[in-house]
A and B are shown apart, each in its own frame.
Chain A
Amino acid sequence: MRPVPWRPARLLARSPQTPTARTLVFSVPGWPGHLPGQHVDVRLTAADGYRAVRSYSLAAPADGERVELGVQSVPGGEVSPYLADVLPVDALVEVRGPLGNWFVLRPGTLAPVLLVAGGAGVVPLVSMVRAHRAAALRGPLRLLYSVRGPDDLWYREQWADRHADFDLALLYTRVAPPGDRRGPERITARDLAAAAAALGPDGTAYVCGPTGFVESAADLLTGLGVDPATVRTERFG
């Protein structure tokens, strides 16, 4: 088995998702492709040779040498503020991947899939939604996406473009937009009940977000009778 190599990655474009979150699109010659849900390591090198590495989720399905990452700028962070606001377009970083073979959605999945995202945890899950949109996946797909308020929503154009067999619920925790009948509150069993029932015996749930959110959402799912073996989690922070 050969090690996963570091590859030069050229920043093609950067676009804002929220006031503090960015999409970064890189070109990575030799990129071997990846599955929805996988991530990469990004390596930065300072002038004196000092290096820092962090993991970032891939936000789009495999598309040749094009690699799209979602970066939430963490105040005081060593790497994320640099990627979010400093790295010039056309400059190089290094990436290694794809990594992670568990929190992935395999092409051709026909069984129901439930995605539960908290905040920036939406990044690996939007890759699954986009793969579903491109019809590489065919089963019913449902996304419950919890954010503090409308300003914190990533991938707005994606949510405006509904497609067959895809169901979306936006759950606001602090500020709800006008007309939102749920009102702002943290995720509850009520939010998850119908989705949990729709999973059936063959479905899989993917939960991604900050630790507290994932603990809470995964506990709610198992409390609703979902088999813990069918709940895959990815936590950060």
Chain B
Amino acid sequence: MTSFSPGFQGRGRRPADRLPPGQYPTEQFPVLSAGPTPKVPTATWEFTVTTERGATHRWSWEQMMALPQEDTVHDIHCVTRWTKFDTHWRGVPLDVFLAEVDTSADFAVVAGHGGYTTNLPLQDLRDGRAWLVHSYDGYPLSPEHGGPARLLVPHLYFWKSAKWVRGLRLTHEDEPGFWEGAGYHDYGDPWREQRTWGD
């Protein structure tokens, strides 16, 4: 019946409840980064949250590690179409940092070492939906996967989970980040297949 790709059979059909449209499952953990992998020592590591009024909150590595930690398991979805089920992470819920911050901002620009940025509604970083993670599968997060610490926002495509995270800037206006300015969707919901502009 179909007029496309005659003879293509494909692999086993996957339960639709865990695999977002247009994704395929992988057992591997592919690496995608726009540039070289920065080496960030924990001795000088710092995580900052800067509010819309310019107030900056800071946490050193030791201070961050002393905050309440969570072990959390998620399926992650990369816009390049791989999905990895049941990834195990350890880190601090963003709620813990944001509880100390007085803000009425609607958006956050996340910055990583190496110049990477990504934007998302501040609401998506709250309510137990986002973490600053430093361990993967029981081991310290490796540099190519964003170590020593990255953001984890598993309900959005994985480019929102900025590697080598160093801070959040809270804003009233939505400001496109690195990929969002280069053609990727502003929000990036894998279940609505929001990959590129106009999706």
Once bound together, how far apart are the Cα atoms of A90 and B101, in whole Å?
A: 61
Interface SS majority for chain B: loop
Given A3-B196, A235-B31: A44 and B5 interface contact (C-beta under 8 Å): yes
Residue of A nearest to B9 (CB): A46
Chain A residues with Cβ below 8 Å from B3 are 92
Question: Is A47 in contact with B34, judged by CB distance below 8 angstroms?
Answer: no
CB distance from A111 to the nearest CB of B (A): 17
Number of contacting residues on A, CB 8 A? Answer: 46
Once bound together, how far apart are the Cα atoms of A128 and B198, in whole Å?
A: 28
Question: Is A219 in contact with B5, judged by CB distance below 8 angstroms?
Answer: no
Contact segment of B35-43, B89-97, B117-125: B35-43
State which of A51, A87, A102 has its C-beta within 8 Å of the C-beta of B34: A102
Question: Is A231 in contact with B35, judged by CB distance below 8 angstroms?
Answer: yes
Question: Is A8 in contact with B4, judged by CB distance below 8 angstroms?
Answer: yes
* Total A-B residue contacts, Cβ distance less than 8 Å: 110
CB distance from B178 to the nearest CB of A (A): 8
State which of B32, B33, B80, B198 has its C-beta within 8 Å of the C-beta of A2: B198
Is A99 located at the chain interface by the 8 A CB criterion? yes
Question: Is B183 in contact with A101, judged by CB distance below 8 angstroms?
Answer: yes
Number of contacting residues on B, CB 8 A? Answer: 37
Once bound together, how far apart are the Cα atoms of A237 and B144, in whole Å?
A: 13
CB distance from A232 to the nearest CB of B (A): 6
Is B138 located at the chain interface by the 8 A CB criterion? no
Residues of A at under 8 Å CB distance from B? 1-4, 8, 41, 43-47, 49-55, 78, 82, 86-88, 91-94, 99-103, 211, 215, 218-219, 221-222, 228-229, 231-233, 235-237
Given A46-B10, A50-B10, A94-B4: A233 and B33 interface contact (C-beta under 8 Å): yes
Interface centre among B8, B182, B199 (most CB of A within 10 A): B8
Question: Is B11 in contact with A92, judged by CB distance below 8 angstroms?
Answer: no
Question: Is A45 in contact with B183, judged by CB distance below 8 angstroms?
Answer: no
Residue of B nearest to A219 (CB): B36
Is B54 located at the chain interface by the 8 A CB criterion? no
Given A4-B198, A53-B22, A99-B183: A228 and B38 interface contact (C-beta under 8 Å): yes
Residue of A nearest to B81 (CB): A53
State which of A1, A82, A102 has its C-beta within 8 Å of the C-beta of B197: A1
- 27 residue pairs A–B, Cβ–Cβ below 8 Å: A3-B196, A4-B196, A4-B198, A44-B8, A45-B4, A46-B10, A49-B2, A50-B13, A52-B8, A53-B81, A55-B80, A82-B5, A82-B7, A82-B8, A86-B8, A87-B5, A88-B6, A94-B4, A99-B183, A215-B37, A221-B36, A228-B35, A232-B35, A233-B34, A235-B31, A235-B32, A237-B28
Residue of B nearest to A87 (CB): B5
Is B128 located at the chain interface by the 8 A CB criterion? no
Once bound together, how far apart are the Cα atoms of A91 and B32, in whole Å?
A: 32
State which of B36, B81, B182 has its C-beta within 8 Å of the C-beta of A222: B36
